[in-house]
Chain A
């Protein structure tokens, strides 16, 4: 029943490898940029706050596919030569996902009350000690479930690199399908693989959410 999948297993899983690479790059860049975007969103300086907010609201109103195309078109103009679609796709994902991660970080930063910081200060802790032992651990625990959920979404989003011809998981399945016409098993297989990874991820996220609620951190 999975004959076409078995025949092309190496080719398909190679595509899944590309999907994982894309996800790793998108997450590393997206989360790093997201931390900065989150800081910009709570900045009191309007020269920082306004542009960052504009960027976030603009990108969040636009489909990811279009962002991917846009960078695919704009990169050669900036670089002066046609760019490798992998790099182009990674840049699009970072720019796109950073706005979503940024809002998670903003909420995390804002969830800490001023008095909790005051309480830490009043016991004589310094700014760095307060950040290290109180702020960051609490914010991180509060954000962890959302960060995992958004990482799962990013993992699924990388499938859209399909549109600029990048040979990731879905693209390779469609290449095999064009030759062998086994749509049910091929797309079924791709769906199952994605499902397993995402399902486990969502359970991990849920675990941390329940743990957080139980210990009263959330």
Chain B
């Protein structure tokens, strides 16, 4: 369970997160949407301990991120993250990208790590690309490798930061399909995305952020058809066309 309690964050004088409260239960999928600059991506990075916050608390399975006794490196092992621009290691083959952390962090043997990696590549549908370098893959394939890289650590939570917004339209679905499968298998996921089809299909909760605040949350069709907040309405009307 991830609990976010009264979290505020500033970049210098500018407040990016304003008093955020949210709880994500095990096995749930939460979708965060909202205009650019609303603080969605920053919130995601805070949950993974990649960015510090100045006020409030984020608690993952009972461990507070801001507690100096918490080992962030240890905690991140159970939270995987997927980025907008894939961020694969360009100097390593697909297989090495996936096996690096299991071998170095979990001290798995090469054989064991590669076996797991091949299973994951099978699962995301590109086992034939194992020995390619990332530059030789399409965007959709790179993002699927990035997902496999995160899954290789057998995380309990997965964070997705606009995973399809850097992709050509014809590649979006191949990535979303992998994510839908994950959600249906019971992975706990927080997904920042504007793909409302995806949200409709798998989200247990949808939150809308604007100017650092959560201004609307919903859990069903109601969120799309009859949002309460004017800004949510405007935003949805712009992206749902």
Contact = CB atoms under 8 A, between A and B. Distances in A.
A–B touching in complex (CB under 8 Å) = yes
A133 B91 CA distance: 10
Contacts of A115: 83-85, 87
A123 B90 contact: no
B81 A141 contact: no
Interface string B103-114: 011100000000
A134 interface: yes
Interface in A89-124: 113, 115-116, 118-124
Nearest to A119: B87
Contacts of B135: 214-217
A126 interface: yes
Given A129-B104, A137-B91, A216-B136, A121 B83 contact: no
B101 interface: yes
A82 B100 CA distance: 56
A22 B138 CA distance: 48
Interface residues of B, number: 33
Interface stretch (B2-10, B72-80, B169-177, B221-229): B72-80
Given A123-B80, A129-B104, A116 B91 contact: no
A: interface residue count bin: 20 to 34
B150 interface: yes
B87 to A, nearest CB: 4
Contacts of B146: 119
Among B45, B87, B105, find the residue whose CB has the most chain A CB atoms closer than 10 A. B87
Contacts of B149: 123
A123 B153 contact: yes
Contact of B101 (A124, A141, A215): A124
B48 interface: yes
Given A118-B81, A216-B133, A216-B136, A123 B100 contact: yes
B100 A125 contact: yes
Contacts of B153: 123-124
A104 B79 CA distance: 36
A134 B89 contact: yes
Contact of A118 (B80, B83, B100, B150): B83
Interface of B: 45, 48, 50, 73-74, 76-77, 79-81, 83-85, 87-91, 100-101, 104-106, 133-136, 146, 149-150, 152-153, 159
Given A115-B83, A138-B89, A215-B135, 8 more contacts: A113-B85, A115-B84, A119-B87, A119-B88, A123-B100, A124-B77, A134-B89, A141-B91
List 5 A-B pairs, minimum CB-CB distance, nearest first: A216-B135, A122-B81, A123-B101, A124-B77, A119-B87
12 contacts: A115-B87, A119-B88, A121-B73, A121-B76, A122-B48, A122-B81, A123-B101, A123-B149, A125-B104, A129-B105, A215-B90, A215-B133
